[in-house]
Structure 1
């Protein structure tokens, strides 16, 4: 792919979980730190930065405060330094089980404790000085091998995760990382879990759990027998190799998974670039040429469409739309207007994209009619994971209620229905709107929910009543939002 910013490596941010199952937390009051939070939210999110110079020391920066963790000679810890000084330098001492011991570089003492009794004064490592790394990124990502510079994807022929794709194209490139009992699982797009021998299994057995190690901002996955995942063989089958220490072959980058979509025009044919550079609604099946990577603007409902042939949709002379641009510009941006189950696209010339009689698309219409409406279908989220400001959406065990403030998530299954989606929970029940706007996961039949892409990695979910799904202080998912803003926006 060209250097157009499509596939950015995610900055690794994480929480640190202590032996008492609480997270290291940075407080704005007095810039104090504690380990009292039971879930991973913004105050509990940290980033690892290299220390100044060439040594192994690192810095821990609070993503909430933007300040650095420090440990004084007497063991007192704080998070108040805007610029890192000598007391901010730590050495990460990985343990055999994947946990970290954090040692002050200038003073040689270890950092640990419980609740608000944290210090960096221990001379040896005990369970109180051990921390588990819990990634804070959205769990649905692309996984890229550093050594092979290829992406992992579900390979049905091999019945495995192969690491041989130059681009993360289509639904099979989606990998879901789930955190359970201080370990990680890698889940393919068909819901199966990766076992250390390379097999994909329906149930997450012991050999499908991995501990995480970070090395220079890259990730390594350690299996239960101590070996690390690596691409093996000509197709790069992902399995535990021979190495018990991570080298380049065992390192992976996480990359953001943008939505990939197909569009159906009013003539009931798919928008495609199969015939060349012109973007036309002239195909009867949805394959790679009919699939477009949709990169949303950071804060607005506008986007670019990138084709599998290597170009962005662009507004050209006389209003035509061609997939020829190699860089993002004003002419490659299209504003999304949601019209019920359909979407209209407005180009940079202020006109709507319309389908001509020959199927070609052009931004030439000042008014909305049938030819200016498209059905947009998301294809690379068969499993939907939603995160709001207070945590993930998860169905209560033994209950049909859906919470919006959980530290662990459920992966809900999506099925498409004429511009809307049916959402089904882990126990097979459908999402439905109940009394007082509460959303439940025990529907016997489906309800139609419309997914409206509103900003980068953010969508709103509109119910049949026209209300939007929101979280809130109660932690319950409710259909009571009037506008697709604030608590009605979900990271996906």
Structure 2
């Protein structure tokens, strides 16, 4: 019997068209609810593992959804689900014995049941989107206030300080969608407001990078910066420190990297990190500075780099890795030795590239 296996990246979200919400893991109660209208939380992301013809859903806290409607610490036959597919990215998960996974009860608990109604067992499987926070030179978060105005005024991260990072992978243009569902757009008097629509030309900004900090250029070729009153504006023609923004991944406590030859991970046959794995390993992100992270392996040790530009996952000391987003769910990694991390045909992961090539682009 044929078993469907999506070509999608392993880091996914589950959207219920019937309830118009996303699945969200609740580590406190060890449950999964279908109650998130916008998937900006890390808890909305799941790793989809394929093993022995079945699928296992792993939460952002590395617990697995079980047939008992709870999150458990280890994968087993009780966390294995069979997948049915329909056109349009629709999937349904079952236990193979008549039970289907769907949202139940007034709180929409995701669990097994035998009587789904109106197609509530069908979910749209999507690649986990990228949500980021942006910080000004004064270390204030960019936030949408008064519905549409964008200010660098908040010292605390709120849902209105989060933006979905949507980028054209070919020409490095960027759209930022706020939690209110609208895009940042350049408006009259060079102000930038969160009231744009997806295809509106004023919502496309060109991005430039400087050591992990992002610089945004508006359609009128002026650069975004912060006015004295904290308002976000496109005002200057030559960018300076005031036009550089710290950027941090908001819904990614870890990375799952896939390159040209497979996933980045650990192989029992090699002592070096590999880049041709069929199943991924998580890289835990420990934020250090804006755009700078420490890479931690699942066992708690840190990534270390050899004199040959290869990596081992059992270092004792944290090293600085610089992440720069290159498109929607695409990034490059500048390693501690000053070279870009790249995949190699041999299967070994290297950091020896001075320029960004196709082997340096990672899907995450």
The alignment status of 1:187 with 2:58, answered yes or no, reads yes
Q: Deviations over 1:328-365 (max 9, x none)?
A: 32211112211013111111111111111111111111
> Which secondary structure does the structure 2 equivalent of 1:271 belong to?
strand
The alignment status of 1:406 with 2:277, answered yes or no, reads yes
Runs of 5+ in structure 1 lacking a partner? Answer: 1-129
> Do 2:13 and 2:128's aligned partners in 1 also have CA atoms closer than 8 Å?
yes
For residues 312 and 141 of structure 1, what CA distance do their matches in structure 2 show?
A: 23
Select 2:331's aligned residue among 459, 464, 483: 459
The alignment status of 1:175 with 2:78, answered yes or no, reads no
| Residue aligning to 1:308 | 179
> Which secondary structure does the structure 1 equivalent of 2:242 belong to?
helix
Select 1:319's aligned residue among 176, 179, 190: 190
Q: Deviations over 1:83-140 (max 9, x none)?
A: xxxxxxxxxxxxxxxxxxxxxxxxxxxxxxxxxxxxxxxxxxxxxxx33222211011
List aligned pairs for 1:427-438, cutoff 5 A. 427-438=299-310
More displaced 10-residue stretch of structure 1: 266-275 or 469-478? 266-275
Select 1:295's aligned residue among 166, 186, 189: 166
Kindly tell me: are residues 165 and 372 of structure 1, through their superposed partners in 2, closer, same or farther at Cα, counting changes over 3 Å?
same
Q: Deviations over 1:439-490 (max 9, x none)?
A: 2211112111111111232111111332110011111110011222310001
| Residue aligning to 1:371 | 242
> Do 2:98 and 2:114's aligned partners in 1 also have CA atoms closer than 8 Å?
no
Kindly tell me: are residues 423 and 400 of structure 1, through their superposed partners in 2, closer, same or farther at Cα, counting changes over 3 Å?
farther
| Residue aligning to 1:227 | 99
Q: Answer with 1 or 2: which has the greater Rg.
A: 1
With the length of structure 2 as denominator, give the TM-score of the two structures.
Answer: 0.94
The alignment status of 1:199 with 2:70, answered yes or no, reads yes
Deviation at 1:429, TM superposition (A): 2.1
Deviation at 1:205, TM superposition (A): 2.7
Deviation at 1:207, TM superposition (A): 0.9
Q: Deviations over 1:419-449 (max 9, x none)?
A: 2111112222212221211122111121111
| Residue aligning to 2:231 | 360
For residues 216 and 327 of structure 1, what CA distance do their matches in structure 2 show?
A: 25
Displaced runs of 4+ in structure 1, greater than 3 A? Answer: 155-159
Kindly tell me: are residues 449 and 198 of structure 1, through their superposed partners in 2, closer, same or farther at Cα, counting changes over 3 Å?
same
- The number of equivalent residue pairs is 362
Q: Deviations over 1:249-288 (max 9, x none)?
A: 2111112322100011111111101344221100011110
List aligned pairs for 1:73-92, cutoff 5 A. none
> Do 1:274 and 1:290's aligned partners in 2 also have CA atoms closer than 8 Å?
no
For residues 336 and 473 of structure 1, what CA distance do their matches in structure 2 show?
A: 31
Deviation at 1:223, TM superposition (A): 1.7
More displaced 10-residue stretch of structure 1: 153-162 or 335-344? 153-162
| Residue aligning to 1:490 | 362
The alignment status of 1:340 with 2:198, answered yes or no, reads no
Kindly tell me: are residues 398 and 442 of structure 1, through their superposed partners in 2, closer, same or farther at Cα, counting changes over 3 Å?
farther
Kindly tell me: are residues 280 and 462 of structure 1, through their superposed partners in 2, closer, same or farther at Cα, counting changes over 3 Å?
same
With the length of structure 1 as denominator, give the TM-score of the two structures.
Answer: 0.70
Q: Deviations over 1:187-242 (max 9, x none)?
A: 12222111112111121132111121223452111225441211111121111112
> Do 2:163 and 2:177's aligned partners in 1 also have CA atoms closer than 8 Å?
yes
Runs of 5+ in structure 2 lacking a partner? Answer: none
> Which secondary structure does the structure 2 equivalent of 1:266 belong to?
coil
For residues 351 and 370 of structure 1, what CA distance do their matches in structure 2 show?
A: 15
| Residue aligning to 2:135 | 264
> Which secondary structure does the structure 2 equivalent of 1:442 belong to?
strand
For residues 256 and 84 of structure 2, what CA distance do their matches in structure 1 show?
A: 24
> Which secondary structure does the structure 1 equivalent of 2:308 belong to?
helix
More displaced 10-residue stretch of structure 1: 294-303 or 401-410? 294-303
The alignment status of 1:240 with 2:112, answered yes or no, reads yes
> Do 1:402 and 1:476's aligned partners in 2 also have CA atoms closer than 8 Å?
yes
Select 1:477's aligned residue among 340, 343, 349: 349
Of structures 1 and 2, the one scoring higher in RCO (CA 8 A, sep 6+) is: 2
